[in-house]
Structure 1
Amino acid sequence: MTALTDHFTLEEFTRSDTARSRGIANTPLPAIVANLRRLAQFAELGRIALGGAAMVISSGYRCAELNRAVGGAANSAHQVGLACDFTAPAFGTPLAVCQALSTSNLAFDQLIYERAGGAVWVHLGIAAEGVKPRRQVLTIDAKGTRVGLWT
């Protein structure tokens, strides 16, 4: 296992059942690994904001082929290692996680409460190095993309 930080490994940010089942090589280039390291460092701050609750990463880096396979946005920050999807069951629901992070002082680029096909998760994105984070808070569900947190 390749540690990115105390609580996160490269493997958990690149693991994908879809990639494995479809034979997609989801191997990041060194520049993307550097982004994933920054993302993991930022996720550590997220853990602190969540009282130390563990974050279970369900999606991190996605190569272009994997991103297409899972129906990701064409300009997804996942493709450059700047976003992850996760839950934090020990903290609470994904909505509770989003509420806590949205009121924190974390300089995220995007915080998205996502619901699709019965699954619910948090999308956390950071800005590229040298770019000012937008602190966008969004909800994406069957009704589309909306600003703010909606139940």
Structure 2
Amino acid sequence: MFTMENQNQKTMLSEHFSFEEMVRSGVAERRAIDNIPTGADIERMRLLCANVLEPVRRRFGVTRISSGFRSAELNAAVGGVPASQHLLGEAADIHISCMETGMKVYDYIRRNLDFDQLLFEHRMSNGCRWLHVSYTVRRPNRRQASAIDC
């Protein structure tokens, strides 16, 4: 099992996803917010990587994570919902470069993978798009999918 004691920035959670990229945050760096997961959070990140992110990577190539694990302080700083699965290491936001690619990734996950939530989201002010995807083992995955306004 992964623990903070045996982690370093280069530790791989899966073949293509590192511990560092799943906890990295520009907001945390700018505001000096500790973004340190527990051992249980790290194990949930590993499961998310193995069950969702790796299959996406194999199908579509390089997959950039814009937000993975968030501490409570970081989640509040970025305006995350109080019960966000990011707080548990169960969620990641995948950067989407264009609408067409985003819909292909969204449809692939929705049709082929087990997931808890899949949300195609965007920020109106700057046009930034991302897929929020979560995976849990705390209960059966709900397979909730939404691509509103996309």
TM-score of the alignment, normalized to the shorter chain, above 0.5:
yes
1:31 aligns with 2:40: yes
TM alignment of 1:2-151, pairs within 5 A: 2-42=11-51, 43-48=53-58, 51-87=59-95, 89=97, 93-104=101-112, 106-116=113-123, 117=125, 118-127=127-136, 129-139=137-147, 149-151=148-150
Query: What is the one-letter code of the residue matched to 1:47?
Result: R
CA contact (8 A) 1:54 1:88 kept: no
User: Aligned partners of 1:46 and 1:132: how far apart in 2?
Assistant: 21
* Deviation of 1:40 (Å): 1.2
RMSD: 1.9
CA contact (8 A) 1:112 1:138 kept: yes
What are the ranges of 5 or more consecutive residues in structure 2 without an aligned counterpart?
Answer: 1-9
CA contact (8 A) 2:22 2:68 kept: yes
Give the paired residue count.
138
Between the aligned residues of both structures, percent identity stands at 36
User: Aligned partners of 1:111 and 1:9: how far apart in 2?
Assistant: 22
1:14-33 CA-partner distances (Å, limit 9, x unpaired) = 00000000000101111111
Q: TM-score, normalised by structure 1?
A: 0.83
Structure with the largest fraction of helix:
2
CA contact (8 A) 1:57 1:84 kept: yes
CA contact (8 A) 1:33 1:81 kept: yes
Q: Which residue of 2 aligns with 1:145?
A: none
Q: TM-score, normalised by structure 2?
A: 0.84
Runs of 4+ in 1 over 3 A off after TM superposition: none
1:1-45 CA-partner distances (Å, limit 9, x unpaired) = 111111000000000000000000101111111111111112112
